[in-house]
A and B are shown apart, each in its own frame.
Chain A
Amino acid sequence: MDETLVAVKDVKKYYRLQKGFFSRKSLWVKAVDGVSLEIRKGETLGLVGESGCGKSTLGRLILRLEEPDEGTILFEGRNILEADAEGMKALRRQVQVIFQDPYSSLNPRKKVSSIIGEPFAIHGLAGGKEREEKVIELMEVVGLRPEQRNLYPHQFSGGQRQRIGIARALALRPKLIIADEPVSSLDVSIQAQIVNLLIDLQSQFGLTYLFISHDLNLIEYVSDWVAVMYLGKIVEWAKQEVIYEKPIHPYSEALFSASPSLDPLAKKERIPLEGDVPSPINPPPGCHFHTRCPIRIDRCSKEEPLLTPRPNGSLVACHVR
């Protein structure tokens, strides 16, 4: 299994901000600023980063819910950005999404059976009795009781709603699922149930995941590969066991060291980061991280580092290391 399912190349997404009502000058939010990534079939790529780093926007670009300004996104070798409406519809059967908030991502006026059955309706597949059978099957797969199919979303708990969202995403047997913080709004004891479900489904249906989260323990658990994002750029991209053993980029290092450990006696060798994440509206020149970097040199503020391969097989964007 060494086949690339998705290849993202130099993708950029800028949003325009009007400076003032009369001002002709405009500012740009560089949400995703030249990102390249690959996700291989059957594997999970974990995308980590802090709020505003562009990880959700990247997910939306791959879903083509947003149109990138530059770059290409290949799905099974075909550029999805060139696909027409017809082609896109076919593509959407292959790529599905699970959202963070199971409260706002389900239509409150629809019964569970029509929420899970909607993908079939949109794509004109399975109707009538057959659709009902498929809905029942999907509900069983995600651990919901089929008798509950005529209830409305508000009659379910958060974890159960997330299961409904997962059933909907699975309906058309997609190849890729983009899971954008799929468990972060759930209680800890429920999180584990959903994570187990996602992993079971992956082996059952041969799914590929792009798993977006800020929870580093969770990303370590689910991922085969990990990409760390900071202000619209990937700063490190490596195999899970490699990056968790020893991250190379100073940002990854600080991020991993900031994650609280479960051992109250653990010696905290935390690498403190000063200040806040700078605004993506006007990111610092050169390496975006240089304003908070403990090991910066002159070159960092002038020249942008590129992702280059390292001896341990990782790709890292840093001048110093």
Chain B
Amino acid sequence: MAPLLEIKGLKTYFFTRKGIVKAVDGLDLHIDEGKTLGLVGESGCGKSMTALSIMRLVPEPMGRIVEGSILFEGTDLVKLSEPEMRRIRGNRISMVFQEPMTSLNPVLKIGLQLAEAIELHQGLSSKEAWQQSVEMLRMVGIPSPETRINEYPHQMSGGMRQRVMIAMALSCRPKLMIADEPTTALDVTIQAQILDLINKLKERVGSSILLITHNLGVVAEVAQSVGVMYAGHMVEYADVVALFKDPKHPYTVGLFQSIPQKRGRGKREKLQAIPGLVPDLLGLPVGCKFQDRCTRVFSRCKEEDPPWLTLDGGHKVRCWLYG
């Protein structure tokens, strides 16, 4: 079966006065129907730009998709015109952003914001759309949705607002939901509620999810497969269990070692930090982009970009150590 979403050789560049910023530089990924892919990486690695490229919301004219294809249900999104894209955006593919306060309109009641998408994409009357909005709010676990639908975003807590965003994203039963750091702004107990909700609703609505986060713990909770990004490239791609059990790429290994592990009564061991800084996309080296911070770097890394190497069980990695 063809995957629901397949990205091949995607390049999204920004043309700035200082030079070309290769935010996404030759990315491949695929998401199967009904599955969740976790996309992990640090700031500036290109994970959010990947999401915006799929939504065709790359800020123009500075940024542009210069190469590659994004096949969604067999259609190449890169080639679609803006009106065609508008029929897909919010309908077949929807998005949940990190900050639920700035992504809701503060001067409109949440009901109006929810019903707008439903009315637009599903051709329902405003009354029917309103009814369905109430149902959506009920589905995401907002108590007394009939009254809360008349509230403004500021009357709700952060967790509630994120539920509204999810209700909005799922209101047209999308095939794909992109969630960009959906729980980063929330407290842990609320984060747990939202992750449970996302897992539950995925089953009910049957959507696939692209979950973007810097938090490996969140990925472990909801994803079936994981992609790790570094400086615009995907460097490792595997099944979630395989990746967490046996990370291959030195960057992924470093990320895991940077996180304090369960300590119990044991003595505290020093964290193995990744040396150096998060890379500047304007001055990337030739060859592997991680070479400057890699503890296992050798001469070949500085000459050639490592290709995708497939290891046992479909575990894919871009690193010369395995070549």
Any B CB within 8 A of the CB of A157: yes
Q: Are A262's CB and B159's CB within 8 A?
A: no
A258-B188, A260-B195 known; A189+B264 contact, CB < 8 A: no
> Which stretch (B72-80, B95-103, B267-275) binds chain A?
B267-275
Q: Mark B185-215, 1 if CB is under 8 A from A, else 0.
A: 0011111110110000000000000000011
Q: Are A220's CB and B262's CB within 8 A?
A: yes
Of chain A, the residue at the smallest CB distance from B269 is: A221
Any A CB within 8 A of the CB of B277: yes
A-chain residues with CB within 8 Å of residue B193 when the two chains form the complex: 272-273
Any A CB within 8 A of the CB of B160: yes
Q: Are A276's CB and B256's CB within 8 A?
A: no
Docked pose: A188 CA to B252 CA in angstroms: 11
Q: Are B278's CB and A260's CB within 8 A?
A: no
Q: Are A188's CB and B188's CB within 8 A?
A: no
Q: How many A residues touch B, CB cutoff 8 Å?
A: 44
Q: Are A189's CB and B241's CB within 8 A?
A: no
Docked pose: A195 CA to B270 CA in angstroms: 9
B-chain residues with CB within 8 Å of residue A220 when the two chains form the complex: 260, 262-263
A46 shortest CB reach to chain B, Å: 12
A55 shortest CB reach to chain B, Å: 12
Any A CB within 8 A of the CB of B157: yes
B-chain residues with CB within 8 Å of residue A258 when the two chains form the complex: 188-189, 191-192
B-chain residues with CB within 8 Å of residue A189 when the two chains form the complex: 42, 254-255, 258, 273-274, 278, 293
Docked pose: A59 CA to B272 CA in angstroms: 29
Docked pose: A262 CA to B40 CA in angstroms: 13
Of chain B, the residue at the smallest CB distance from A49 is: B187
Q: Mark B215-246, 1 if CB is under 8 A from A, else 0.
A: 11111110100000000000000001100100
Docked pose: A196 CA to B275 CA in angstroms: 12
Q: Are B192's CB and A262's CB within 8 A?
A: no
Q: Are B159's CB and A195's CB within 8 A?
A: no
A188-B258, A262-B259, A263-B244 known; A50+B187 contact, CB < 8 A: yes
> Which stretch (A63-71, A84-92, A104-112, A210-218) binds chain B?
A210-218
Q: Mark A224-268, 1 if CB is under 8 A from B, else 0.
A: 000000000000000011001100000000110111111111101
A-chain residues with CB within 8 Å of residue B295 when the two chains form the complex: none
A187 shortest CB reach to chain B, Å: 4
Any A CB within 8 A of the CB of B131: no
Q: Are B214's CB and A276's CB within 8 A?
A: no
Q: Are A276's CB and B159's CB within 8 A?
A: yes
A187-B43, A221-B263 known; A196+B220 contact, CB < 8 A: no
Docked pose: A263 CA to B240 CA in angstroms: 9
Docked pose: A270 CA to B193 CA in angstroms: 10
A187-B278, A276-B157 known; A262+B260 contact, CB < 8 A: no
Docked pose: A265 CA to B264 CA in angstroms: 20
Any B CB within 8 A of the CB of A192: yes
A217-B260, A255-B189 known; A262+B157 contact, CB < 8 A: no
Q: Are B272's CB and A277's CB within 8 A?
A: no
Taking a contact as CB atoms closer than 8 A, the residue among B43, B189, B259, B260 that contacts A50 in the complex is: B189
Of chain B, the residue at the smallest CB distance from A273 is: B189
Of chain A, the residue at the smallest CB distance from B256 is: A262
B222 shortest CB reach to chain A, Å: 9
Of chain B, the residue at the smallest CB distance from A240 is: B263
Taking a contact as CB atoms closer than 8 A, the residue among A190, A192, A254, A255 that contacts B272 in the complex is: A192
Question: Can you name 28 A-B residue pairings with CB atoms under 8 Å?
Answer: A50-B187, A50-B190, A160-B277, A187-B43, A189-B278, A192-B258, A193-B274, A195-B260, A196-B273, A199-B268, A214-B188, A217-B259, A217-B261, A220-B260, A220-B262, A221-B260, A221-B268, A222-B260, A244-B262, A259-B217, A260-B192, A262-B256, A264-B223, A264-B241, A264-B244, A273-B189, A276-B157, A277-B187
Question: A244-B264, A258-B189, A264-B220 are known contacts; what are 12 more A-B pairs with Cβ within 8 Å?
Answer: A188-B259, A195-B260, A214-B188, A221-B260, A254-B189, A255-B188, A260-B195, A260-B221, A264-B221, A264-B240, A272-B192, A273-B193
Rank and list the top 3 A-B pairs by shortest CB-CB distance, nearest first.
Answer: A260-B217, A221-B260, A192-B273
